[in-house]
Amino acid sequence: MAGEGTISVLNDEVLVVQNGDSMRESNAEVHEMTKETPSTTPQHHDCDVLVVGAGFSGITAIHRFRKLGLKVKCFESGGDFGGVWYWNRYPGARVDSECPFYQLNIPEVYKDWHFNQRFSDHRELREYMAHIDKVLGLRKDVTFDARVVEGTFDQDKSVWNIKTQQGHTATAKYLMLASGLLHRTYTPDFPGLEDYKGEVYHSGAWPEDFDPKGKKIGLIGAGATAVQITQELGKTADELTVLLRRPSYCFPMGQREWTAQEQRQWKTYYPALFKAGRDSAAGFPAERHPSGVHDVSEEVREAFWEDLWGRGSFNFALANYNNIVVDKKANRTAYDFWRRKVCERLIDSEKNKIMAPESPPYYFGTKRAPLEQDYYEVLNQRNVHIHNLSKVPLKSFHEKGLLMADDKLLEFDAVVLATGFDSYSGSLTQMGLKSKDGVALADMWKDGLNTYLGLTISGFPNMFMAYTPQAPTALSNGPTIIEAQVETIVDMVAKMEEEKVKSIEPQKGAEAEWKALCNTMLQYTLIPQTDSWWNGANIPGKKAESMIYPGGINMYEAQCRETMDGWKGFDVVTAA
């Protein structure tokens, strides 16, 4: 952990990284049996497929490509499996997709694995990754602590040449990017940050020996990460001040213990549940109500909403009336119900004016809705304060804390930055990837993102990606959309191998049509009227644009697979 007055910098971001937190004994043994000391000698790999990233997407890709009989290698920037769950170790870090759906649909993996809770925390998820590694034997094909910094395509040989910051290299016919949706952390360019004498930590790289007791802490942010951190630090810090521009519309998590016995019983139904999840819009086998908000009486509506609310998780979003995100009147009615539920718990009148105002600051359901456990009870505490940045913005950091626009100084021993990520494109544009014509992807996308199917990019032959923009990613259960995308890509590669195709590359016209399709579908919703990380508006200088395919996983996968018949939208080069 950085000492007083110290700010550690990693990749031009204000971060402190300290890995190696403990795991329960049984799974720690699994981890130690499989883990090897990373090689410090640069290695070269000749392979069929080079996978970048070893989180859920990378693990799925390694496993599926192996089953195809291809030689697969992987570069991972972290020190172990997990992706976002390798890095996410902040207080309260927990997934908000419920069991049994937040896991991979691999029977040999899930048959002997049991989760402890409906919603797993970051420690249990790293144990789960160690279990996957043990069962599938992934580690022998992964190089850890290997950050990709260059990727070029050799048109004569139709191969990708990849280099890492640590000197590792690889040559592969296929390049599979599995670097994640929310990987590249974002730290705003705060004035006077260098003058601050206290501790500064980004949620994406948490110091695990941080002790909040006896400290005054400032937390900047109110998204899903900030909600989880607030729930933990508010209970232990001397004082916690949450600084936010607008509140999140949180749903009740409904956390509970999940016994090994009931999981054994449910595993009989796992194949049917996973199949139903895959054939759904969001990755959960839920059906939206066929009626609109005002098609039923107020009494019927209130009873239905109370029932949905009591189920916890995302049920209030998944199974609600069908017009909440398309009709403004229906949207306001849903917001008013949500606000009443919050104000029943957040009884401090001044605080609920900020966290649940009478007039909604943005349309309900058009921005990430976090799940919370006791967030509003913690906000009620006397040691927890809320500062509304939309009324009194931050002027600059000060050696003792934060100087606000009204010249009031808020003194803090530590400041936590829950300021989010450069979503969708951040990890992709930082790898030094260049098109077949030598143009950097970062330059190609500076005026807007273009993909075909959310899987491929024009100018980058035989390069595929998962958990991506212009796909249902932000609106989906992670493992479900990942498996839909990766398995589609694997089937594309299998078809290429069978047909002896040298390379495929999406046409620019196909990209334009795909982008237009995504935008057209979104225009029938209220989503484009709210700025957030969903459209990149959280990053200064980044073009704010819709990056969501709103048609759902089932429709999306069907459309992607239809293009394989005759390689619609692709330029195809066959072997001589």
Buried b (16+ CB within 10 A) or exposed e, 540-568: eebeebbbbbbbbbbebbeebeebbeebe
Q: Is the pLDDT at 21 greater than 70, yes or no?
A: no
Among 24-33, 170-179, 277-286, 484-493, the range scoring the smallest mean pLDDT is 24-33
**Percent of the chain beyond pLDDT 70?**
89
Instruction: Calculate mean pLDDT across residues 493-505.
Output: 97
Most confident segment among 5-19, 288-302, 467-481: 288-302
Tokens of 181: 């949706």
Instruction: Calculate mean pLDDT across residues 420-438.
Output: 83
Measured in degrees and rounded to the nearest 5, phi and psi for residue 396 equal -170, 160
**Percent of the chain beyond pLDDT 90?**
81
- The tens digit of pLDDT for each residue in 418-427 reads 987 666 666 8
Q: Is the dihedral of CA 140, 142, 143, 144 positive or negative?
A: negative
- The tens digit of pLDDT for each residue in 84-137 reads 999 999 999 999 999 999 999 999 999 999 999 999 999 999 999 999 999 999
- The tens digit of pLDDT for each residue in 156-201 reads 999 999 999 999 999 999 999 998 866 667 778 889 999 999 999 9
Instruction: Calculate mean pLDDT across residues 51-73.
Output: 97
For residue 396, what is the enclosing H or E element?
A: strand 394-398
Mean pLDDT estimate for the chain: 90
pLDDT value at residue 37: 44
Instruction: Calculate mean pLDDT across residues 222-247.
Output: 96
- The tens digit of pLDDT for each residue in 325-361 reads 999 999 999 999 999 999 999 999 999 999 999 999 9
Question: Which segments of 392-454 does DSSP mark as H helices, in order?
Answer: 426-429, 441-444
CA 416, CA 195: separation in Å to the nearest integer? Answer: 16
| Cβ partners under 8 Å of residue 393, min gap 6 | 404, 405
Residue type, 23: M
Query: C-alpha angle with apex 445: 503 to 87, nearest 5 degrees?
Result: 90
pLDDT value at residue 117: 97
Right CATH for 53-184+424-574 from 3.40.50.360, 3.40.50.300, 3.40.50.80, 3.50.50.60: 3.50.50.60
In whole angstroms, what separates CA 335 from the centre of its chain?
25
pLDDT value at residue 421: 64
Among 12-16, 427-431, 464-468, the range scoring the smallest mean pLDDT is 12-16
Q: Is the pLDDT at 11 greater than 60, yes or no?
A: no
The domain limits of the chain are 53-184+424-574, 193-417
Alpha-carbon torsion, ordered 89, 93, 94, 96, to 10 deg: -130
Report the greatest alpha carbon distance in the chain: 74
Residue type, 521: M
CA 253, CA 185: separation in Å to the nearest integer? Answer: 25
Residue type, 455: L
More confident residue, 18 or 255: 255
Q: Is the pLDDT at 18 greater than 50, yes or no?
A: no
Nearest to 364 by CA among 228, 244, 247: 247
Q: Is the pLDDT at 307 greater than 80, yes or no?
A: yes
* DSSP 8-state code for residue 38: P
pLDDT value at residue 534: 64
Alpha-carbon torsion, ordered 464, 465, 470, 471, to 10 deg: 110
Instruction: Calculate mean pLDDT across residues 461-484.
Output: 95
Pairing of strands 409-411, 401-404: antiparallel
- The tens digit of pLDDT for each residue in 512-535 reads 999 999 999 999 999 988 877 566
pLDDT value at residue 424: 61
pLDDT value at residue 531: 76
Task: Find out whether 75 and 27 touch, Cβ atoms under 8 Å.
Answer: no
pLDDT value at residue 541: 65
Tokens of 191: 């004035």
pLDDT value at residue 539: 57
pLDDT value at residue 447: 86
Q: SS3 for 77-102, per residue?
A: CCCCCCCHHHHCCCCCCECCCCCCCC
Residue 189: Cβ-neighbour burial (10 angstroms; 0-12, 13-18, 19+): exposed
Question: Which segments of 344-421 does DSSP mark as H helices, in order?
Answer: 349-355, 375-380
Among 16-25, 206-215, 395-404, 558-567, the range scoring the smallest mean pLDDT is 16-25
pLDDT value at residue 540: 65
